[in-house]
Chains A and B, each alone.
Chain A
Amino acid sequence: MSAALKETEQGFSARYRGLAARLPGAAEARRRAAALFGARGLPDTREEAWRFTSLRALAGTVFSRVEEPSEATLRLLARAPESDAPLIVFADGRMRADLSRLPRESEAEGGPRGGPGGERGVRVTSFAAEPSFERVGEGEPLVALNTMLAEDGANITVPADVDGGTLVLLHLGSGEAGQPPAFHPRHRVRLAAGARLALFEIALGEGAYLHNPLMEARLAEGAWLLHLRLLEESPDAFHLGSLHVALGARSRYEGFALVRGARLARSEVHAAIEGEGAQFFLNAAQMLGGEQLADITTVVRHEAPGASSRQTIRNVLTGRAHGVFQGRIEVARVAQKTDGYQMNQALLLSEGAQVSSKPELEIFADDVKCSHGATVGALDADQLFYLRSRGVPEKEARAMLVRAFLGGMLDAVPHEWGRSVLEGAVDSWWKGRPA
């Protein structure tokens, strides 16, 4: 452990000590998280789960806390994709009801908003008003950090058998390199039995900052969560996020993530399949250039029979970028007839780009179908020449082939507006990037 990284860790711990009396929610949970973080600190590459992703770049930085979002952050609002859907805006880690378009039945800052029919629709409250901790971060340093310092977040609830429609969760963040701010929002999603929701999370940013979000989601029997994510953090930012999702019987989590941003992004997804016949799908694309590193690490625990999990990760890498996918599937003895699949594919557009894959299967049931695979390739010279021979300029031809590589994944997004936003993000990746 380097002294400089210690300094960063101590900065977080000192902040906790200064804030502890004022932080919302159970003080005991915070204390335990602070103790866990204090004992273990930020992970380093000697730990198996972090061997590809070094947090050295954080070393020596003491992150600051912001009370009021900066002007620069508020200006980012103009970059958000347009829609009429209900919208929750987080600016520098804080929920801003005034900038949001909350569902009618929602409450923010504890005060009721909106009209009648509160029982029937999507309800949004803030973590600051209704704090709760499902986990504190035992063995999970990113969760411990969040638990220790979370001040705000969105609590999203959809009642039984209600189709909650589309909800956009927008994170805006910015900061200066000298003393970059850190944001630790803590979100909670509860879908009651048979409820549905299309949640589109978008993160935009500028400058240097750390975004350390945690989302705890719970899907009751037969619920369906479509979770679209567009990560366009600033190229100087750090993203250390975790999603924990628990799936009840015959529920369905369908995730599509596009990671374009951050200097260093670690997106952890932990799925606990608790109910029979649940379905967990994760499709993710990482498009990286320059010195970017993005890491998707998943742990899918099959604890009930007859469930399926499918994960496909596609990396498009140029410059000296590094894409990482670590996927672990655990199948408990009771989880017979599990169908697990994971695939990591990479298109390397430059000599300096690299991809790392680490699949892990831990299977204790005997009647299961589990597979994993990885492919790495470059753009096909014959395909490129064919396109160019038809008049398509080289840069556009490359973009078309990259788009084709990600195409099936985008086409499968079962949400028209969401799909068009993600497609736009894929297509604009090329702007200003050397071919």
Chain B
Amino acid sequence: MALLEIAGLEAEVEGKPILRGIDLAVPLGEVHAIMGPNGSGKSTLAYVLAGREGLRVTAGTVRFEGQDLLAMEPEARAAAGLFLAFQYPVELPGVGNANFLRTALNAVRRARSEPEVDALRFLKEARSALKRLSMADEMLRRNVNVGFSGGEKKRNEVFQMALLKPRLAILDETDSGLDIDALKIVAAGVNALRGPGFSALVITHYQRLLDHIVPDRVHVLTEGRIVRSGGPELAVSLEESGYAGLAAEAAAA
């Protein structure tokens, strides 16, 4: 059984169909990449998986470790081990990053019947994670994402992921807006979690990220459907031919 199993998933936003029948399985321990043109529904898929309101699922099922993911509240999905790195991380003025992260970590630990961590131990863990990601401690004292540069916001997402240690990470264009060094750091953050108990769904537009996080499978999403799946070489060929060629192929098929 795959960790994540999506079958016949259809969803609409404000009456407009966006996901139009998605079938996708991510086995435990694998990293899958999703590529596709702007507006094809990649973020919508990520949001449906994370449980955002305002998206209406009209057909299909999603199983996460065999559970009905769509029936769960967003916080329950997080507790079950799902993590979404947002394409556009949200600013929380007045909420300190350290307080935010510790609250999140302890909420997730409570839900998993694990003991909560106290402020001191949290700081120790947070500092070592920051160090691994080459981020400054000062980050902890700032309000969540407020005044962060685009790249800092993305790194903050990866930092949260490192602390929450999900079983399935969905990275929605975490590489966009990153400089080359930051890209390597983010990739290292993901690779550090890689192992038999961790899977990831990496949404990206660029082959560059996939040089560092080598995926097991690559899927191409256009107009709310997965039109093509393949090995890492698919990303390379897309880089050369673009999506237009694929669309023509799909039309001919």
Contacts and interface: CB of A to CB of B under 8 A. Distances in A.
B169 to A, nearest CB: 12
A124 B51 CA distance: 60
A396 interface: yes
Given A390-B78, A394-B75, A404-B95, A385 B108 contact: no
Interface string B34-60: 000000000000000011111000000
Contacts of A400: 95, 100, 103
A387 to B, nearest CB: 8
Interface in A367-393: 381-383, 385-393
Contacts of B77: 389
Nearest to A380: B90
Interface in B71-129: 73-75, 77-79, 83-84, 86, 89-95, 100, 103-105, 107-108, 111
Given A390-B164, A391-B79, A385 B103 contact: no
A408 interface: yes
Contact of B103 (A382, A392, A405): A392
A378 B179 CA distance: 36
A389 B94 contact: no
Instruction: Using C-beta atoms within 8 Å of the partner chain, give the interface range for chain B.
Output: 20 to 34
Contact of A382 (B50, B90, B160): B90
Interface residues of A, number: 22
Nearest to A409: B94
A407 interface: yes
A397 B90 CA distance: 14
A403 interface: yes
B75 A386 contact: no
Given A391-B78, A392-B107, A386 B160 contact: no
Given A385-B53, A389-B78, A394 B94 contact: no
B94 A392 contact: no
Given A389-B52, A389-B78, 20 more contacts: A382-B90, A386-B92, A387-B104, A388-B75, A388-B78, A389-B50, A389-B75, A389-B77, A389-B86, A390-B107, A390-B164, A391-B105, A391-B107, A391-B108, A396-B103, A397-B75, A401-B95, A404-B95, A405-B94, A408-B94
Closest 10 CB pairs of A and B: A404-B94, A391-B78, A391-B108, A390-B104, A386-B90, A388-B74, A407-B94, A391-B107, A388-B75, A404-B95
Interface of A: 381-383, 385-394, 396-397, 400-401, 403-405, 407-408
